[in-house]
Chain A
Amino acid sequence: MSNLLKYMIENASMILNYANTHFSLIFSAVVISLLVWVPLGILISRNERLASIVIGIANTIFCIPSLALFSVFVTIPFLGLGRSSSLLALVLYAMMPMVINVYQGIKVVDKSVIEAAKGMGMSSRRILREIQIPLAAPVMFAGIRITVVMATGIAAIAAYIGERNLGRLITEGITRNHVEMILSGAILIALIAILFDTVLGAVERMLVPKGLKVRRSN
């Protein structure tokens, strides 16, 4: 234990640097994923054919081992080693949990609520905006939180393709058989995941409509 602390303190600037890179990779991956996959999830909730195609693709990508996906991207000229490949891989992995949760969230909204709203003359855009999306919020958030925790883990593997992040502590630690190094990498990765999840939990509590929480507390 004291060895671990000693190691971390001695290498503080390097570790912080790695943590910073790790954090920024996840952060950009999540932001891009939100911008791309949430609208796509909403879009496919209105078109069943498109939905089955998109969900098929998302599932397939998710099945590719991460190391393999990273390596494939490295061979593509304009991606190469480093940030672009890692980012693209993370965003693609996020497709499955995000798109499917957004889609499911909208789909599971009580049919009778939609029927009533439509029957009162609300346009379908208005129903989407005022009813389906707010009601899908809890399921969407579940997807986003899974994505973030997952991305934190997978980002570590990007160390193999040149990302200088916490994954490096683990890969190098393994080759050098350096326990403290491996442990500090693993612990910090877990901490980042917990940090993200906590923040998102707080955001969720703010954004999920109050009327839904009433039901949950019963």
Chain B
Amino acid sequence: MIELHNVTKIYAGQTVPAVNNLTLKIEEGETCVFVGPSGCGKSTILRMINRMIEQTSGTILINNKDIRETDPDRLRMGIGYVIQQIGLLPHRTIAENISIVPRLYGWDKERIRKRVDELLELVGLDPDETRSKFPAQLSGGQMQRVGVARAMAADPPIMLMDEPFGAVDPIVRGHLQDEFLKLQREMKKTICFVTHDINEAIKMGDKIAIFEKGQLVQHGTPQEILANPKNEFVRTFIGYDRVVKMLTLFQVRSITKGNYSIIRENELANIRQKMDDEGAAVGILMNESTRPCGLITRDDLEKAGDVSPEKIKEIACSKKDAFIDGDLLLNDALSLMLEWDSDYLGVVDGTQLIGVVSLGDIRECVRRKEGE
């Protein structure tokens, strides 16, 4: 647990504080993401927490102990630190770079070697290929991943990560974020994560702290912040797609409903009857191997009028791809609805149908969450 009480930092020779009277608590096992425009003091906060710089006033506690009571080198060994500029040692191999803190702890060679390989795998680098390279032989994104591996080397309970995925392309970044989230669910480390990308903040944070010019503007869960931006600054920072961003917080699975009818090929003729009987809004066409192969809504049926079963099948099959994995997020569902011009999507788990999701359900979800 990290607590900052009335912490202010004024750099020597400056009059405006880089961080102004900040009080903030980061719970054990929580990821708190610091976001804000360039120069708002994010890095400064991290550097105060591991005593790279001393606060001008206020106190910082880690697990209820004032950090000034611990020897700075000892304190830092116990805190994983990913710096914004990466800072790999250019004259040391990747393996040596990663093993810096384990070596400070005096681990034996074999244990270090194993750990290095494990970490390289973890950040998506091939150990055999990367281990004995020098930093200059890696790309910026690869170096950044080594920087993250290095910070995690001795498995510190606290991590300070300053834009750890800033230099990687969006695809790799998404992948690293997913990996990290998965890992964090097991590791339960206390993490301060800096970014200026609000989307990253929403995805990675249990809590988000938004800063402007050294001032904490809003602190809360992503949902709280997206549902109730505190002021114009936060609103602007989030952007006009605030509600779509909120949709990224929920999986399709969470609002999936069962108001559909399974339609076999031989039932196409009296599809209306069956859907009425079952109170279904959607008919899902199933092939012999019970895989969903088409989707038709009440609206579609009405528009089509009195047509042959073949025609109904044709309409249903034109939406044979309008199925979405339950793990995907509501914003993806919304996008696919627009793409397929369909109010309904089928929801699957692998190939197994688990329900349907509708535009109305998404709107309902937003309405509910905004009210909370």
Interface positions of A (Cβ within 8 A of B)? 110, 112-123, 131, 134-135, 209-212, 214-215, 218
Contact = CB atoms under 8 A, between A and B. Distances in A.
| Most A C-beta atoms less than 10 A away, residue of B77, B89, B135 | B89
B110 to A, nearest CB: 21
B2 interface: no
A-B pairs, top 6 by smallest CB distance, nearest first, are A116-B87, A121-B77, A209-B91, A112-B85, A211-B134, A121-B76
B86 interface: yes
Contacts of A113: 87-90
Contact of A135 (B86, B90, B136): B90
User: Which of B50, B86, B92 has its CB near the most chain A CB atoms (within 10 A)?
Assistant: B92
B87 A115 contact: yes
A108 to B, nearest CB: 12
A125 to B, nearest CB: 10
B92 A211 contact: yes
B100 interface: yes
Interface residues of B, number: 29
B11 to A, nearest CB: 15
B33 interface: no
Contacts of B100: 117, 120, 122
Contacts of A116: 81, 83, 85-89, 147
Contacts of B135: 211
A119 B90 contact: no
Given A211-B91, A211-B93, A119 B83 contact: yes
A135 B88 CA distance: 12
A110 B50 CA distance: 20
A121 B134 contact: no
A123 B101 CA distance: 12
A206 to B, nearest CB: 14
A131 B96 CA distance: 12
B91 A135 contact: yes
A212 B74 contact: no
